[in-house]
Amino acid sequence: MPTIYTEQLTDQLKAEAMRLGFTLAGVCPAVTPQGLSHLDQWLSAGYAGEMHYLADRRAAYEHPRHVLDGVRSVLMLTLNYRTIEPTAPTAGHGRISRYACGADYHDVIHERLAALSDWLRLQRPEAMVRGVVDTAPLMEREFAQLAGLGWIGKNTLLLNRTMGSWFFLAALLTDIELHYDAPHETDHCGTCTACLDACPTDAFVAPYVLDSRRCISYLTIELKGPVPHELRPGLDDWLFGCDICQEVCPWNHRAPLSNDAAFEPHSGAGAIELAGLFELDGEAFRSRFRNTPLWRPKRRGILRNAAIALGNHPDSAVLPALVRGLHDSEPLIRGASAWALGRFAANQIAGASTALRERKNVESDAEVLNEINSALTADFD
């Protein structure tokens, strides 16, 4: 295909992506990502935690052809989700990461990628095209940097001097040879360590290296079992995800707001009243959260997180919710509620120790019994 036509098609493809709501677009060749050795080191160190799917499909990360056979070009895209600034949560509420406050980004982005794919096939009917967003074995940040969209910061997120990091990444793969952008060669983090210093669970073992096992986002979303005791206080009032390393980043202070209606926060988004969550049975939880990002940890994960958040801020007003959690059918919820009630007892909140002792008499799960016994180390009321 002539160079002039290649450049024209690429420009038109980018323009169509902007029309569909994407905010940045860059194109790079489909090659083996340079960061593959870093991925191997990261996996070998165990930093992926329970995200075993990363190691299971390690070989597929070696080249985008494992996502689309015959691929020659990768169009990397961003979609800005920074909307209104969240307000500080009040007592008894849990914080939610900004990206989860509006529509499920997977649904939004897949719909737009499908439209962009259709447009490209209209121009080139013989083209093979596939759009992906964070579920395919593709090192998105590596390819975004190769496509000139930014650099990978010390908090391991892609950073752009204009957009900061408040954006989703998506990719459109095709067997067409497009016009490639120049890679982003410079790192603009400089000597700043704001993100590393602010992490309350010390998840960054070094600049550019995240131990997921200590990351609040991992602990509240990906981790299926109990949160390690020593990390629970660091979760503070986070119910789902965490934005701390982004909030303190200087590049995000100047990032523009999104006018994308899809990511406008739902009513009350940004913080959720926690006690009421313990009143939701499986069906009620599904009805409320099924089509939102909060569905990923399922009811057991969200209520585990809610119990920890309440335990970090003891308040007698929410004691009944934790007692309800202590008698939940799910052991993970009972164990987290026991830990939280232990914190209530330590703060001399009447009734907490009594509830723990009463549950101990009927509890049959060994892990939950360990949580109860630990919470009852001393007699507080």
- What does the pLDDT read at residue 89? 76
Characterise 270 by phi-psi region: left (phi > 0), alpha (psi -120 to 50), beta (else).
left
pLDDT over 50 at 381, yes or no: no
| Rounded alpha-carbon distances, angstroms, from residue 134 to 67, 105, 116, 152, 244 | 12, 10, 17, 16, 21
Q: Over range 78-83, report the average pLDDT.
A: 92
pLDDT over 50 at 288, yes or no: yes
Joined tokens for residue 233: 């206080």
DSSP 73-117: EEEEEEEE---SPPPPPPTTEEEE-GGGSSS-HHHHHHHHHHHHH
pTM for the whole thing?
0.93
pLDDT over 60 at 266, yes or no: yes
- 160-201: pLDDT as tens digits: 999 999 999 999 999 999 999 999 999 999 999 999 999 999
Burial class (CB in 10 A: 0-12, 13-18, 19+), 97: buried
- What does the pLDDT read at residue 254? 87
Residue 345: how many other CB atoms lie within 10 Å? 24
* Residues near 232 by beta carbon (within 8 Å), at least 6 away in sequence: 308, 311, 312, 339
pLDDT over 60 at 1, yes or no: no
* 144 close to 22: Cβ distance less than 8 angstroms: no
- 111-161: pLDDT as tens digits: 999 999 999 999 999 999 999 999 899 999 999 999 999 999 999 999 999
- What does the pLDDT read at residue 3? 61
Residue 134 known to be catalytic: yes
Enclosing H/E stretch for 40: helix 36-44
- What does the pLDDT read at residue 380? 38
| Rounded alpha-carbon distances, angstroms, from residue 117 to 12, 127, 218 | 13, 9, 32
Taking all residues of the chain, what is their mean pLDDT, rounded to a whole number?
A: 94
pLDDT over 50 at 77, yes or no: yes
Distance of CA 281 to the CA centre of its chain: 25
pLDDT bin (cut points 50, 70, 90) of residue 268 is low
Annotated catalytic residue: which of 40, 107, 134, 281? 134
Q: Where do the H-state alpha helices sit in 230-351?
A: 232-235, 244-247, 250-253, 282-289, 298-311, 319-326, 331-346
- 211-243: pLDDT as tens digits: 999 999 999 999 999 999 999 999 999 999 999
- 17-50: pLDDT as tens digits: 999 999 999 999 999 999 999 999 999 999 999 9
